[in-house]
Amino acid sequence: MPIGRLHVLTDFFFQQRYSHAELARLAVAGGADVIQFRQKFGSVRHLIVQVEGIVEVCAAANVPLIVNDRVDLALIEGVSGVHLGQADYPIALARKVLGPDAIIGATATTTEQVRQAEREGATYVGFGPVYHTGSKSNPASVKGIEGLRRAVEAVSIPVIAIAGITPERTREVLDAGAHGVAVMTAVTTADDPTQATAAFADVMRVSANR
């Protein structure tokens, strides 16, 4: 399955105005073509309910839904795959559990981790932090545009730029070879999440037509 270019992560930690499903609906309306469910707390039953709510939104819009960290939640009908961090479920094992058609994303902070993710069967790599981010308590050192460029050149699978991405910075990460961007608080904590998503989508549309 081809991976989209504008990934919006839902969130209920940095904001509590909207549910995960509402954020997904607002982001899709603004042009997001991948939604990633991200919640680090709560019981399994609670998380299942949250994911099922987003499944309905994404299915109606024909937008892939990926869950962060949790391979078990990726088994829910209508979920397209999972995004895994370095300390999460091994990519090769997740591929065995979820099957050959599942989207499996992997976070990488070094060029070698990018290569390893490709070897193990990742569909795409989320590489960063490209810029400083406040959404992680212990972010890896900032990689910058040159670090992103080296990661892109190291593999043949799509590289999604992560961390600190803004509409103003989107053009330069795409020019560095990134397939797309993944954003969270830039959308979820914005006054208007749909408008905030559209600002990213507009830049990406212009870049695609260059």
Q: How far apart are CA 136 and CA 133, in angstroms?
A: 7
For residue range 10-61, list pLDDT tens digits in order.
999 999 999 999 999 999 999 999 999 999 888 999 999 999 999 999 999 9
pLDDT at 140: 62
Residues in a beta bridge with 127: 108, 161
pLDDT at 206: 83
**Does residue 137 carry a pLDDT above 90?**
no
Nearest to 193 by CA among 15, 17, 30, 9: 30
Q: How far apart are CA 131 and CA 134, in angstroms?
A: 10
**208 pLDDT band (50/70/90 cuts)?**
confident
**Does residue 136 carry a pLDDT above 60?**
no
pLDDT at 3: 94
Nearest to 95 by CA among 108, 82, 107, 85: 82
Q: How far apart are CA 32 and CA 97, in angstroms?
A: 27
What average pLDDT score do residues 86-102 get?
A: 94
pLDDT at 138: 56
**192 pLDDT band (50/70/90 cuts)?**
very high
What's the N-to-C CA distance of the chain in angstroms? 25
This prediction has a pTM of 0.94
Give the architecture (CATH level 2) of 6-208: Alpha-Beta Barrel (3.20)
201-208 — which CB contacts under 8 Å span 24+ positions?
201/6, 201/30, 201/31, 201/32, 202/31, 202/167, 203/167, 203/170, 203/171, 203/174, 204/5, 204/6, 204/170, 204/174, 204/180, 205/31, 207/170, 207/171, 207/174, 207/175
